[in-house]
Every structure is written in structure tokens, then in C-alpha cells.
């Protein structure tokens, strides 16, 4: 009898303790500091639009239990510094170019910056989806184990193009001898090398001055960055080369993410999905309207012919692929390229239904 009473008392104690624990979780407040390098205007930068919507949705969905602090324009560090801060847990979240994470901690992500991979932003979105693409999900699991950083999302920022102050770039031969700024992303540097140019890695926040003072002849970037950073003031020629899809990655500290109760993790993922829709839509609009803006600003815009475009592909693709296979292994690169082909086949199959 005494034993039965003891067991009943123990069960009641555990139930009460669990209830108190859940009550404490429900009352606990969390702060998420989110850093990114782009200007803060959400109507001119898709990353800033993502950040604003993510903040509003997460604070709403969490019932105010998560407060999101926004730090745009490199206020608390450039992309490299912000990535390191997420790894240390100094801040919880940042948005960067995926290649920055590759260069710092996880070389396998370099594969995302190979040239001429995607036919459209939709094609890229399907391949880069860390929730639904098995290749990306497995890559994310490996990243988390090695670094303590989770890819919350990987999204297409937009196709990158060549600009310079020397001449029109119509073929790969026109790049020869030019000093072209790149990010600290080796596949981007190899692409410039493949055409005979000299890649010069310069931090994004220092790029305008480097172009203005002719430290470099040109750079490669997305349309929205060229406009947002006023690069048209210090660059004359723009070639619509579409050589690389700029890939943005939102990183979150895994320990902090796992500290959230299940309902708040669900709210965070839901807010991210909503914000991604805004990100992709605005990025496409900014690309579509940006050409006319740059024409009005006086840039000389050149569209390569199909034959010229193929010449860029013929030079860059095998050169960069050889580097990637030597660095990461032929099978790894082949598996990634197969996931790209599978996504393309899925789009075509949907069109036949």
C-alpha cells in the first residue's frame, strides 16, 4: 500500500514538474540578432525585404516571445565577421553569400558557385532547397555537425554580370588583362582566370572606392547590387553575362536554434518561408526593372549573342569544374550536377501534365 502511494506521489510530482517546465518555456523570451551587409531599404534590396518580413512574421507567430533585432548595412560586421559571430553565438543569424561560409568553414559549399548552373531563379530555388532537396539536406546536416551553423535557407539572389571601365566585353577574350574584383569565393576567381583576367578579392563595403580609384578595372555583380551601391557612377560597361547565380545563405546558430521549444522552431521556419517568397519576388522585379534604370544612368549595356554566350560557357565550365573535382572529388561534383538535372527534369515533367 505504501509502495503504491509512493508511486502515485512520484507520478504527481513529475506531472507538476513537467507542467511548471512547459509554463516556464511558454513565458521565456528570446532575442534573435540578424545581421546582413546590404542597405536597409526593403524596396531596393531583396535581403532587406526578407529581413523586415521575417521580423514581423516571427514576432507575430511567436506571440512576441521572440524579439528580432535587425542590423543592416554591415552595422555589426561584414559578411565574414557576421559568419564568425554566428559560429561563436555572438549573434544568432546572418545572411551572406554562400561562398563566404565555404571559404571560412565548409569548402563543400563552393560547389554552389560553379558557373552557368541554373536556367532561372525557379530552377535554382528547387535545387537549393535545404528542406526538400536531399543533396542539400545532407550537406546541411554535415555543416551543422562540423561547424554548429545551420543553413536556414539557401536562396538565389540573382544572376551576376560583368562590369568594367575599359571596354565592352563581348567574348571571353575581352576579359584578358583586366583586373576584376570578385568576392573571396574561389570558383568566382577561377572563372575570371579562365578568361585571362586577374581576380582581385575586395570586401564588398570597400568596392565602390576601389572602382572609383581604379584599383580594379571592373567587377561582377547582380543588377540590384549595381544599382543599390551606385556602381553605375564608377563603371561604364555592363555585359549581361549571367555567368553565376548569386546565392544567398541565411545562417543560424544551431545551439540557439535547438534551444527553442518546438512551437517556436515551427514559427521560425514558417516566418522564413513567408519571407523567402518576398525575397524571390522582389529580387525578380528588381532584375526586371533594373536594366532600364541602368540605361538611364548612362551605362553601356551589351547582351552577348547565343554564339558569344556559348563561348563564355565553353571556356569557364570545364576550367572551374576541373578545379572543383580536384578540390571536392569527382563524385561529389557529379552528385550535385545530377540534382540540378533532376530539378530541371521535374520542371519539364510538370509542363506535360
Say whether pLDDT at 317 is over 80. yes
Q: What is the CATH number of the domain that holds 155?
A: 3.40.190.170
Q: Considering the chain, what percentage of its residues have pLDDT values greater than 70? A: 93
Rounded CA separation 287/303 (Å): 15
Say whether pLDDT at 30 is over 60. yes
Give me the phi and psi of 80, to 5 degrees please.
Answer: -65, -50
- pLDDT bucket at 140, cuts 50 / 70 / 90: very high
Given this model, what pLDDT does residue 294 score?
97
Given this model, what pLDDT does residue 27 score?
81
Given this model, what pLDDT does residue 3 score?
59
Given this model, what pLDDT does residue 20 score?
47
Radius of gyration for the chain, computed over Cα atoms and rounded to the nearest angstrom: 23
Domain that holds residue 72: 29-351
Which of the pair, 25 or 289, is modelled with greater confidence? 289
Structural domain contains residue 18 = no
Given this model, what pLDDT does residue 205 score?
87
Q: Are strands 149-164 and 218-222 parallel, antiparallel or unpaired?
A: antiparallel
* Residue 12, C-alpha cell as written in the block: 504527481
∠ CA 204-92-140, nearest 5°, is 80
- 235's CB contacts (< 8 A; 6+ apart) are 163, 164, 165, 211, 218, 219, 226, 299
- pLDDT bucket at 351, cuts 50 / 70 / 90: confident
Given this model, what pLDDT does residue 353 score?
81
Q: How far is CA 126 from the centre of its chain?
A: 14
Structural domain contains residue 21 = no
Structural domain contains residue 255 = yes
Say whether pLDDT at 12 is over 60. no
Give me the phi and psi of 235, to 5 degrees please.
Answer: -140, 135
Structural domain contains residue 54 = yes
Domain tally for the chain? 1
Structural domain contains residue 194 = yes
Write down the mean pLDDT value for the chain: 94
Say whether pLDDT at 143 is over 60. yes
Angle between helices 330-351 and 306-328 (to 10 degrees): 140
Per-residue model confidence as pLDDT tens digits over 204-244: 989 999 999 999 999 999 999 999 999 999 999 999 999 99
- pLDDT bucket at 1, cuts 50 / 70 / 90: low
Say whether pLDDT at 313 is over 80. yes
Structural domain contains residue 14 = no
Say whether pLDDT at 13 is over 60. no
Structural domain contains residue 5 = no
Given this model, what pLDDT does residue 194 score?
98
Rounded CA separation 91/83 (Å): 9
Structural domain contains residue 8 = no
Per-residue model confidence as pLDDT tens digits over 92-124: 999 999 999 999 999 999 999 999 999 999 999
Amino acid at each position: 500500500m505504501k509502495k503504491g502511494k509512493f508511486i502515485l506521489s512520484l507520478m504527481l510530482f513529475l506531472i507538476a514538474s513537467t507542467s511548471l517546465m512547459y509554463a516556464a518555456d511558454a513565458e521565456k523570451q528570446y532575442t534573435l540578432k540578424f545581421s546582413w551587409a546590404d542597405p536597409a531599404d526593403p524596396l531596393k534590396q531583396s535581403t532587406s525585404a526578407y529581413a523586415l518580413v521575417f521580423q514581423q512574421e516571427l514576432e507575430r507567430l511567436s506571440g512576441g516571445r521572440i524579439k528580432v533585432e535587425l542590423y543592416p548595412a554591415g552595422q555589426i560586421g561584414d559578411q565574414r565577421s557576421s559568419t564568425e559571430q554566428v559560429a561563436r553565438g555572438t549573434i544568432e543569424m546572418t545572411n551572406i553569400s554562400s561562398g563566404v561560409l565555404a571559404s571560412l568553414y565548409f569548402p563543400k559549399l563552393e560547389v554552389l558557385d560553379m558557373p552557368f548552373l541554373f536556367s532561372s531563379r525557379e530552377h535554382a530555388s528547387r535545387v537549393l532547397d535545404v528542406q526538400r532537396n536531399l543533396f542539400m539536406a545532407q550537406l546541411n546536416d554535415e555543416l551543422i555537425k562540423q561547424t554548429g551553423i545551420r543553413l536556414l535557407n539557401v536562396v538565389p539572389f540573382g544572376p551576376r554580370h560583368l562590369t568594367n571601365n575599359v571596354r565592352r566585353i563581348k567574348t571571353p577574350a575581352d576579359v584578358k588583362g583586366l583586373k576584376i574584383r570578385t568576392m573571396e569565393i574561389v570558383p568566382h576567381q577561377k572563372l575570371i582566370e579562365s578568361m585571362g583576367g586577374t581576380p582581385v578579392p575586395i570586401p564588398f563595403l570597400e568596392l565602390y572606392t576601389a572602382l572609383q580609384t581604379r584599383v580594379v578595372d571592373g567587377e561582377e555583380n547582380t543588377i540590384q547590387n549595381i544599382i543599390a551601391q551606385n556602381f553605375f557612377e564608377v563603371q561604364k560597361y555592363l555585359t549581361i553575362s549571367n555567368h553565376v547565380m548569386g546565392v544567398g545563405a541565411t545562417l543560424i546558430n544551431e545551439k540557439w536554434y535547438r534551444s527553442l521549444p518546438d512551437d517556436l522552431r515551427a514559427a521560425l521556419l514558417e516566418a522564413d518561408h513567408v519571407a523567402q517568397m518576398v525575397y524571390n519576388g522582389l529580387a525578380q522585379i528588381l532584375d526586371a526593372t533594373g536594366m532600364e534604370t541602368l540605361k538611364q544612368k548612362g551605362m553601356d549595356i551589351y547582351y552577348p549573342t547565343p554564339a558569344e554566350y556559348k563561348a563564355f560557357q565553353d571556356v569557364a565550365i570545364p576550367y572551374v569544374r576541373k578545379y572543383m573535382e580536384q578540390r571536392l572529388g569527382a563524385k561529389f561534383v557529379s552528385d550535385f550536377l545530377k540534382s540540378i538535372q533532376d530539378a530541371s527534369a521535374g520542371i519539364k515533367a510538370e509542363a506535360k501534365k
